[in-house]
Structure 1
Amino acid sequence: MNRFFNVDVLLRLFESMHIGIIFVDPDGIVRYCNIPAGMMKNIRKEVLVNRSLYDCHSEEIHSRIRDIIKTIKEEKVTEWKKINIHSEPDLENLVSPMFTSEGEFLGMVMVSLDVAGKRELADRIRKSDKELSVLLKVSHTLNSSLNLNDVLFKILLLAVEVISFKTGTIFLLDEETENLVPMATTDCLLGEAPAETIDCASSESIIAFAVKSGTMISLQRGKPGFERIVKRPEINALFILPLKDQDKCLGALVVECEEWDVFGPEEQKLLYAFANHAAIAIKNAQLFARTQKMAFIDGLTGLYNRQYFDQILNQVVTQLKRKDMYLSIIMVDVNDLKFINDFFGHVIGDQIIKAASHVLQHSVRDTDTVCRYGGDELVILLPNTTKEEAHIIYKRILENVIKWNEEKNDNNDISLSLSIGTATAFGRDGLSDILTRADQSMYEDKRRYKMGIRDQTPIDRAKKQYYSSS
C-alpha cells in the first residue's frame, strides 16, 4: 500500500479518473494543473501554470473562494468546501486550504468533477465543429485555384489554422530526378535560408522515409534524427505529413513547433484529413500545369512553340514600352531541311531539327527563350540583351554547330548548317519591326549560304540542282 502514498501515482490516478486538480500558492498563483482541470476550465494547463487564479475563474468565483479561504485560515481548519457556480452547473468544485503542522498557510487545492459529463461532450462537439469548419474552408479555398504556387501558399496558410506552428515547408516529389524539392516555405517570408533538396532514395532522411512509406511522423527534441532536420534552438517538435493522393505520395508538409506536445491523436486525425484535401489540390494544379505546358511545347524538339513565343514576346514588348531596356532576337533557319527530307527521308530530317534545337539550347543563357517558330525556323528571345551581347551568342551557336558535326553527327553525307539573323531594339526604338529585321537578316545569311555551295561532292551537286529547280 505504500506505493499509493507516492504523489505522482495519485496524480496519475486522478487524471485517469478525469478529476481536475489545481494547486494555488499563498499568493494566488497556480503552481499545478492537470489535463482534466484544463479541459473543464477551457484553458490549456501549459497556459494556466504560473499565472494568477483570475485566469482560471471569473471574479465572482474567485471572490467566493477567497472568502472561504479567509474563513478557514482564521479557524486554521483543513476541510473541503463545496462551491456551486451558476455558470458551471455541470461541474462540482471543492476547495481546501493546506497548512503546515505549525499552522503556516501553504496554499489551496481545488478539485473539479464533471458530474454530468456535459463538459467533455461539449468539448468534443466544439472540436468536431471546428474540424468540420476548417476542412470545409480548406476544400473551398484549395479548389478555388489551379495555379500550383498559389495552391501551395494557401496550403501553408490553412495549415496554421489546423495546428499552430513556427515554420512550414512543402516538399514535392520530382519524378524525373526522384528528389524532394522544397516548393513553398514560410522561411522565405521570415528571411531564412530555404530548405535543401532531398534525395528520395536516401536512407538517412526521415522526410524521404515518410514520403516513401506514406507514414506520418512526429518527433520531439532529443529523439534520433531530430537534429538532422531542425537547426533552430527554439524548435522542440517536428511533424512530417505525407501528401498522398490515393496510393501515390506527391510530397510532404514539414512543420516545426516551439511547443512540445502539439501532435496528439485528435490533431493527427485532423491533419490526415487536411493532407488528403491538400494532395488533391496539388495534383489538380500539377495536371493543369502539365496541360498548359503541353499546349505550348513543340512535340518534336521539346522547345516552346510559336504560340508561346508570341505570348512571351507581347509581355516583353509591354515591359519595354514602360522602361528603356534592350531586346534582341535571333532568327534561325535549318539549312537544307527540305532537301534532306526529300533525299534522305523525314526521319533524318527530324533528327537534324532536333540537333539544331539541342545546339541552340546549349548556346543560350538561362534567361533566354528558344522556340520552334515554324517548320525549319527557330527563334531565340534575348531579353535585356544588347547587339554586342547577341553577337556573342551568335558566335557560340556557330561554334556549337561545328562541335556537333565533329562529335555527334553519325551521318557523313549530312551536316548541320544554320542560317542566322539578329536584330536589336532599345525601348520603343526598333521594337515594331524587330521580328521583320531579324527575319530579313536570316534570309540574307541563307542567300549567302546557297551561293557558297560548291559542287565538290555528289551531295553538294544534288543540293545545287535541287535549289536551282525549286
Structure 2
Amino acid sequence: MGNILFFSESEILYRDLITALPQLNICFNSDPKELLKIIKKKNIQLIIIDMLNVENYDQSLIDLIRSKYIYKLLPLILILPLNYSLSDFEQWMLKCNDWIKYPLYIQELKAKILNQFKMLEINLNLKSKLYRADLINSVTRILNSTLDIDEVLNKIVELTVDLTSAYSGSIFLLDQEGNITHQVLSKQYVSQDIQNQILKKIMSYGLAGWVYKSQEPALVNDTRKDIRWLDVKKHDNSVNVSGINKSKKEIRSAICMPIIRRNIVLGIFTLHHTSPEHFTDDDLDLLKQITDQSSLSIENARLFGQVQQMAITDYLTGLYNRRLFFTLAEQEFFKSKRFQEPLSLLIMDIDHFKQVNDNYGHDCGDQVLQVVSRLMKKLIRRSDVLARYGGEEFIILMPKTELSGAYKLAERIRVQIENYEMKDKSKGSFNITVSLGVACADGHVESLPDLVTNADQALYRAKKKGRNNTEKFQTLEKQ
C-alpha cells in the first residue's frame, strides 16, 4: 500500500490516525506552500484533507494538486464537519474522490482508503495501457516521418526508456556478419574504454550474443544470477559487464530484444535498470511491438543510407568519389584562403597498372586498388580527404599542411605500398610501386583547379624520372 499524506492543522487528529491505523504509512503536513514538494518527495499516493478548519483554506488547494498532470489521478479524501452544509462543500466534493464525516469511524475510513488504492491501481493500469498505445502511435509517426536512421533510433530509445522507467537503453544495428554499424546509448553506464571492450565482444557471447544467436527475446530479473549476463565475464574477466557507472550503480535487471526483418537480425534493443525484477512481461510485450514496428523502417533507412553512400563513394574502394572530393575540397580551399592557412594536395598513380591487369587479370587489379586504398587510409589523418581520382589514380587533400608535411606523407605512402607483398592465387606474389606529385596552395595559387594542376604537373615529373618516387611542384618551378 502506498504512502498517505494527512493535510490538517490538527496534529492531535494526526496522532489519533496513526495510532488507530498503525499498518498505514501516514505523514503530516499543514503548509499549503510545501504541499507539492512533500507529495513528490514522499511519493504520496493518497491525500486525506481535514476540512474541520475550512476557513483557513480555499478550493485552490485542490486546484493546485490537480494542476500537475501526474497528480490528476491522485485520490483525495475529505474529512467533513459533522453538521456540514452541502452548499458549503459541494465544489470541494466534486473535485475529490470520496469524503467522510467527523467524528471518524476508523473502519469506515480504512475501507475508503483501501477502495481508493484499488481504484488508483485500476486507473494507473488503464492509463499505462493508453500511454503505451499512444507510444506505439508516436513510434509509428516517427518511423513514417524520416529516413534518418540515427534520428529514428534516438527517438525510439528515448520514448521507451521514459515509458518503462528504465535506467538506460541502447540499440545496436548489425550488418550481415553481426558487426555493429550503428549504436545509440541513452546513458553511458560504463566508462568509454569498457564500453569499447564490450562492443567488440557483444555479439560473440553474453546476453546480446545469446539473443542474436537464438533470435529470441530475454528478460533478466537479476543479472547476478543469469548466466547469459555473466557469460562475457566468464570469457574475459577484464570486461566489467556488471555495468558500474560513475555513481557506482550496478545494472541488476534487463530486457534484450532482437530486431528481426525477413528472418535476419537487424539489431538488438536492450533496456537496463539498477533494481532487480524491475521489468515485467508487459514491458517485454511493449518492446516486442516497438521492434516489430521499427524493423521495416530500419531496413528502409538502411537502404536509403546505402543509396546515399553509393552516391558519394567509389563502389570498388569505398573511398570518396571524384564528385564529392571536389565539393569538400572547394570548402577547404575557401577556408585556407580566408584564414591564411596552408593547404596541400597529393595526386598518386599506380605504376604500370595496365601490366597488372594484363598479367594477373582484372580481378587481381581490383584487389590491388582495394589494398592500396586501405594502406592509404591507415596513413592519413581524419582531417585529410582521400578519394579515388579515376582509374588507378588517387588524390588527397591535406588541410593545415605545409609542402614539407605533404611530401613526408607521400613518401610514407610510397614506401608502404612498395614494401607490401601483393598476392595472386595462381601466379604467386608480386610488388607494385606508385608515383606521387604534391603541391601546396600559397599566395600564387588562386583557385583549387590551379592547385590540382600543380600537383598533376609534379606527378608527371615523377613519372618522367622513372616512376616510384615523389616530386614537389616547387621543384619544377625552380628548374
Smaller-chain TM-score range?
0.5 to 0.7
What is the TM-score when the length of structure 1 is the normalising length? 0.66
Contact 1:28 1:53 in 2 (8 A): no
Question: Partner residue of 2:422?
Answer: 408
Question: SS of the counterpart of 2:349?
Answer: strand
Question: SS of the counterpart of 1:143?
Answer: helix
Q: Are 1:132 and 2:133 matched, yes or no?
A: yes
Question: Partner residue of 1:216?
Answer: 218
> 323, 330, 340: which one pairs with 1:307?
323
CA distance in 2, matches of 1:134, 1:412: 60
Q: Are 1:381 and 2:383 matched, yes or no?
A: no
Deviations 1:416-455 (A, max 9, x none): 2322111223699655322221112111212222799xxx
Percent identical residues:
25
CA distance in 1, matches of 2:192, 2:468: 58
Question: SS of the counterpart of 1:171?
Answer: strand
Question: Relative to 1, partners in 2 of residues 1:52 and 1:230: Cα closer, same or farther, differing over 3 Å?
Answer: farther
Amino acid at match of 1:26: R
Aligned length: 391
Structure 2 runs not aligned, ≥5 long:
7-13, 26-38, 50-64, 66-73, 84-92, 231-239, 470-479
Question: Partner residue of 1:228?
Answer: 241
Question: Relative to 1, partners in 2 of residues 1:326 and 1:63: Cα closer, same or farther, differing over 3 Å?
Answer: farther
Question: Partner residue of 1:183?
Answer: 183
Q: Are 1:250 and 2:266 matched, yes or no?
A: yes
Contact 2:258 2:268 in 1 (8 A): yes
Q: Are 1:337 and 2:332 matched, yes or no?
A: no
Quote how far apart the aligned CAs of 1:330 are: 1.0
Amino acid at match of 1:439: D
Question: Partner residue of 1:153?
Answer: 154
Question: Partner residue of 2:56?
Answer: none
Amino acid at match of 2:255: I
CA distance in 1, matches of 2:250, 2:112: 34
Where does 1:162-201 land on structure 2 (aligned, <5 Å)? 162-176=163-177, 178-179=178-179, 183-187=183-187, 193=192, 195-196=195-196, 197-200=199-202
Contact 2:322 2:389 in 1 (8 A): yes
CA distance in 2, matches of 1:327, 1:435: 11
Contact 2:375 2:416 in 1 (8 A): yes
CA distance in 2, matches of 1:133, 1:428: 64
Contact 1:22 1:32 in 2 (8 A): no
CA distance in 2, matches of 1:348, 1:258: 54
CA distance in 2, matches of 1:355, 1:221: 44
CA distance in 1, matches of 2:428, 2:132: 70
Question: Relative to 1, partners in 2 of residues 1:21 and 1:93: Cα closer, same or farther, differing over 3 Å?
Answer: farther
Quote how far apart the aligned CAs of 1:122 are: 6.0
CA distance in 2, matches of 1:52, 1:151: 41
Deviations 1:275-324 (A, max 9, x none): 22333333322222222223333333343322332233244335445544
Question: Partner residue of 1:239?
Answer: 254
Question: Partner residue of 1:104?
Answer: none
Deviations 1:72-120 (A, max 9, x none): xxxxxxxxxxxxx76678x89998438xxxxxxxx963346769x9988
Q: Are 1:289 and 2:302 matched, yes or no?
A: no
Amino acid at match of 1:172: L
Alpha-carbon RMSD across the aligned residues, in angstroms, is: 4.6
Question: Partner residue of 1:47?
Answer: 43
Question: Partner residue of 1:8?
Answer: none
Question: SS of the counterpart of 1:187?
Answer: coil
Question: Partner residue of 2:458?
Answer: 441
Where does 1:258-273 land on structure 2 (aligned, <5 Å)? 262-273=278-289
CA distance in 2, matches of 1:385, 1:439: 18
CA distance in 2, matches of 1:57, 1:155: 32
CA distance in 2, matches of 1:445, 1:377: 14
Question: SS of the counterpart of 1:304?
Answer: coil
Question: Partner residue of 2:15?
Answer: 26
Larger Rg: 1
Question: Relative to 1, partners in 2 of residues 1:353 and 1:121: Cα closer, same or farther, differing over 3 Å?
Answer: closer
Contact 2:260 2:295 in 1 (8 A): yes
Question: Partner residue of 1:97?
Answer: 106
Amino acid at match of 1:133: D
CA distance in 1, matches of 2:323, 2:343: 19
Structure 1 runs not aligned, ≥5 long:
1-10, 12-19, 35-42, 69-84, 99-106, 453-470
CA distance in 1, matches of 2:340, 2:442: 6
Contact 1:92 1:113 in 2 (8 A): no
Question: Partner residue of 1:102?
Answer: none
What is the TM-score when the length of structure 2 is the normalising length? 0.65
Q: Are 1:207 and 2:184 matched, yes or no?
A: no
Amino acid at match of 1:331: I
Contact 2:78 2:96 in 1 (8 A): no
Quote how far apart the aligned CAs of 1:217 are: 1.7
Question: Relative to 1, partners in 2 of residues 1:182 and 1:27: Cα closer, same or farther, differing over 3 Å?
Answer: farther
Question: SS of the counterpart of 1:217?
Answer: strand
